[in-house]
Amino acid sequence: METNILEVNQVTKWFFENQVINKLSFKVKGGETFGLLGPNGAGKTTMMRMIMNILQPDEGEILYNGIARNKIKSLHFGYLPEERGLYPRAYVLEMLIYFGTLNNLSRRKAEVEAIRYMDRLGMVDFSDTRINALSKGMQQKIQLIAAFLHNPDVLILDEPFAGLDPINQIALRDILSEYKKENKILIISTHQMEQAEKLCDHICLINQAKVILDGKLSQIKKKYRENAYSIEADNSIAFLHDIKGINIVEENNNSCKFTLSHDNISISKFFEQIKGRVKMRKFEIVEPSLHDIFIKLVQEQTAKS
């Protein structure tokens, strides 16, 4: 299967005197979930609108499989904007069919697909209801369906989990992972770092119109790993304080988080030292959360400028 690829090269966008995007570049491959993260006003929505061809970049180019974005039909792209909107007086199924046909689906195909997705998200009973009679969460689901009804090759979702209950979050994640398996491109923007962490393979963090972090999630995590461990035991572990080369960061009842200073002790030495002294329940390498990395980087960069 050939790999789809979306490239954003040195894209710059101005709104009159305001530079909202400054020479932004990234690359997304098919089968990859790409997380476009950043604080409010970082330029995420503008970037997504440019990928959707709603706005044109002032400089740079956006390529899909090597072809300029504005030469490609919109039906290859699906979009869930951050600000949700539907026709309040329209009937659910009719509106979904309308959106489907706008992306070149036949009416029949659009109807079948719409019903299929509504069934998966548990709302097939509402197909003949008016939008304004639905709850916020249900409207959100309808909007999601509208975004991927036509099975686009590139799917851009802005805050897809906002307003969904945990069960529907799982249903959505299932749909998205199926989608990923088809080697398609998925771009997600969110403020919920836990969601991004669970879902994304590739992260791009932008702040003040620039990329401040770009890479595979696993690599990023490795890079920001603090060499920290956590241990939990059934008996007291106060003796850890006496072992040389251990810095205790956090300590609770029979559990603690610590780092090893490289010069004095290695992890295997550490195990030798505690052997027989502790009834261990859990031991793990502490990964830095994306949340922490995000805050740290954004604060650092904002302080610099």
Partner 1 sequence: MRNIFRIARWEFISRFRSRSFLFNTFVSPLLFTAVLTLPIFIFQYQPEVSTKLVGVIDLSDENIGQNLQDELNRYYRLKNRSPEYMILKVSVSNSKPYSRMLKEYREIIARKDSINSLYNQIKDQRTEYYKNTKIPNREYVLRSSYEKLQITREEKELVQIESNRFKTALDSLYRNEAKNMADSLLITEVLNSYLVFTRDFTKNGNMEYHSKNPGDFRETERLEKILHTIIIKKRIINDNVERAKLRKWLNPIHIKKYQLFAEGQKEWNFYLQFYGPLIGVFLLFMAIFTSGGYLFSSVLLEKSNRVIEVLLSYANSRQIMGGKILGLGFLGLVQVLIWFTLTLILIASDIIPAQKINYLTLTNALYFLIYFSLGFLFYGSIFITIGSISPNEYDAQQINQFLRTVAIFPVLLSLIVFTDPNSTLIRTLSYIPFLTPSFMIMRIPLSAVPITMDIYITIIILIISIIGIIFVAGKIFRVATLMQGKRPTLTELIQWMKIS
Q: Does 54 bind partner 1 (CB under 8 A)?
A: yes
Residue of 86, 185, 231, 290 interacting with partner 1 (CB under 8 A): 86
Closest distance to partner 1 from the beta carbon of 267 (Å): 51
Q: Report d(CA 146, CA 123) in Å as an integer.
A: 14
Query: If binding is defined by CB under 8 A, does position 211 make contact with partner 1?
Result: no
Tokens matching residue 125: 């009973």
Residues 165-184 that bind partner 1 (CB under 8 A): none
Which segment (1-9, 72-80, 111-119, 193-201) binds partner 1 by CB under 8 A?
72-80
Contact 81, 158 (CB under 8 A): yes
Q: Could you tell me if residue 60 is left (phi over 0), alpha (psi between -120 and 50 degrees) or otherwise beta? A: left
**Residue 102 engages partner 1 in binding (rule: CB under 8 A):** yes
CA distances (Å), origin 98, targets 92, 101, 298:
10, 5, 41
Determine if 162 is a binding residue for partner 1 (CB under 8 A): no
Count of CB atoms within 10 A of residue 97's CB? 23
* Segment contacting partner 1 by CB under 8 A, of 73-81, 111-119, 161-169, 285-293: 73-81
Using alpha carbons, select from 300, 63, 79, 304 the residue that is nearest to residue 205.
Answer: 300
**CB of 183 vs partner 1, minimal distance in Å:** 22
At position 132, the amino acid (one-letter code) is N
3-state secondary structure of 170: helix
Residue among 47 and 260 whose Cβ is closer to partner 1: 47
DSSP 288: P
Residue 213 phi/psi, 5-degree rounding, is: -160, 135
Longest C-alpha distance within the chain, in Å? 73
Q: Does 49 bind partner 1 (CB under 8 A)?
A: yes
Tokens of 17: 């005197």
In the block, residue with structure tokens 């920290």: 228
For the chain, the helix, strand and coil percentages under 3-state DSSP, each to the nearest 5: 40, 30, 30
When binding is defined by CB under 8 A, the residue of 77, 117, 148, 270 that contacts partner 1 is: 77
Residues 141-160 vs partner 1: string with x where CB under 8 A? --x--x--------------
Q: Quick check: 19 binds partner 1 (CB under 8 A)?
A: no
Binding flag, residue 16, partner 1 (CB under 8 A):
yes
What is the three-class DSSP state of 283?
Answer: strand
Q: Which is nearer to partner 1, 150 or 180 (CB)?
A: 150
109 binds partner 1 (CB under 8 A): no
Min separation Cβ 134 and partner 1, Å: 14
* Residue number with CB closer to partner 1 (77 or 294): 77
Judged by CB under 8 A, which of 2, 18, 66, 85 binds partner 1? 85
What residues make contact with partner 1 under the rule CB under 8 A? 16, 49, 52-55, 74-75, 77, 79, 81, 83-90, 98-99, 101-104, 143, 146
